Amino acid sequence: MKLLLKGGRVINPATAYDEIADVLIEDGIIKEIGSHIAVDNAEIYEAEGLIVTPGLVDIHVHLREPGLEAKEDIVSGTQAAAAGGFTTVACMPNTRPIIDNSILVAGLKHRAQTEGIVNVEIIGAMSKSQEGKELAEIGDMLLNGAVAISDDGHFVNNARLFRAGLEYANIFGKRIISHAEDENLSSEGVMHEGAVSTRLGLVGNPSVSEDIAVSRDVMLAEYTNSLLHVAHVSSKNAVDIIRQAKKRGVNVTTEATVHHLTLTDDAVIGYNTATKVNPPLRSQDHVDALLAGLLDGTIDAIVTDHAPHAYEEKDVEYRYAPSGFTGLETALGVILTELVHTGKIGLMQVIEKMTYGPAKVLGLNAGCLKVGGKADITIVNPGQEWTVDSRTFYTRGKHTPYEGKKLKGRAVATIVGGKFVMKNGEVFA
């Protein structure tokens, strides 16, 4: 099977390539990238005026399987990923049961390969049942295909255990992903602690809870010379702690979510539970610091933290609602609208943070367009205007803080292994 993408603006951040070019795909592999490629018996996709990029990579999603399929499963989650332009996602282990052993890792990988329509990577838990008391089967999980280890959703309060996890994962050259919030400070908070929380009468989660946790985790990574990745950074001081650690040579990476880059705690006014997330949406000074960290390279990846919930779970008072909302199908449009079209960040850098950057963090064979490489590709119409309507989502989670928002730019085709899994908004299961 041959597929020829004609005349698109091909952007490949890994090589700083940005040219009008054709891309020839044969049997799922990129055969040629260049001008005026001619080939017989190929399906032609006219990409003039469109952007051709490596397939988007999201290293922080919650597919909810096993055990929480009322919220999401591999089928609906990967359909949502394809709809949003993502060709590779890495799912977190806080499911039911927790993904804390090699049997679950291997079983999920098999199910993802047979039922998913994009590439799914598995992240295993650091501690058994994510209780923070005893290490999980870290080595077995990594040997059976897990790409990283994390107790995401929980801060590992036991510093000795966290150190042991860092050292153990480092033997295999893999990262511990830290959910960095000191729960002694943050546990009762339902939004960012500040002027807005005071006005709304909601208990605040102070940014210092993140700062303290990031400081400890970075210090342990430095002391053990291990690989650390800080999930969903949201605090300005945490960004600077990571920035200074990188300057000292600490092998620490970090990510920022789409919502932490584009929303402030003002979004909570009105008590819409679609705005409740952990860590919380913070004030403008923190958002500004995240953007600065993105621009100077402190932040390595943009992620969604796609965390769908059943409708009835969110249809409660704000303080009782679970944290998290869907993000895969809105991420690219929101980033293009709020950051690229406003001139806050360049297109090449955004694509890097959504492809090659996250792939590099976890050592994935993804996020790059190269001859001989797998044809995982996203085609983007940067000027397409559309309005967020959760009723059209493929994900089972319908809560989004961007409901009704007018966006400019979206993925119009997603190619995995040389085959279209989405075209013009329609996902092919």
Residues belonging to the active site: 305
Spatial contact of 123 and 130, defined as CB atoms under 8 Å apart: no
Spatial contact of 162 and 217, defined as CB atoms under 8 Å apart: yes
Spatial contact of 24 and 42, defined as CB atoms under 8 Å apart: yes
Q: Do the strands 228-230 and 252-257 form a parallel or antiparallel pair, or are they unpaired?
A: parallel
The SS3 of residue 271 is coil
In the structure encoding, which two tokens stand for residue 280, read together? 């919380």
Spatial contact of 418 and 29, defined as CB atoms under 8 Å apart: yes
Q: Among candidates 122, 133, 125, 123, which has minimal Cα distance to 100? A: 125
In the structure encoding, which two tokens stand for residue 199, read together? 């006005």
Spatial contact of 107 and 141, defined as CB atoms under 8 Å apart: no
Q: Among candidates 133, 9, 121, which has minimal Cα distance to 74? A: 121
Spatial contact of 90 and 152, defined as CB atoms under 8 Å apart: no
Per DSSP, the chain holds a count of helices (H) and strands (E) of 14, 19
Cβ atoms < 10 Å from Cβ of 338: 20
Q: Do the strands 377-387 and 406-416 form a parallel or antiparallel pair, or are they unpaired?
A: antiparallel
Q: Among candidates 219, 256, 259, 258, which has minimal Cα distance to 241? A: 219
Residue whose tokens read 């493929």: 394
Spatial contact of 411 and 384, defined as CB atoms under 8 Å apart: no
Q: How crowded is the C-beta side of 324, counted as CA atoms within 13 Å?
A: 24
Provide the edge-to-edge strand list for the sheet that holds 56-61: 56-61, 86-91, 119-124, 148-150, 176-178, 228-230, 252-257, 301-303
The SS3 of residue 234 is coil
Cβ atoms < 10 Å from Cβ of 20: 12
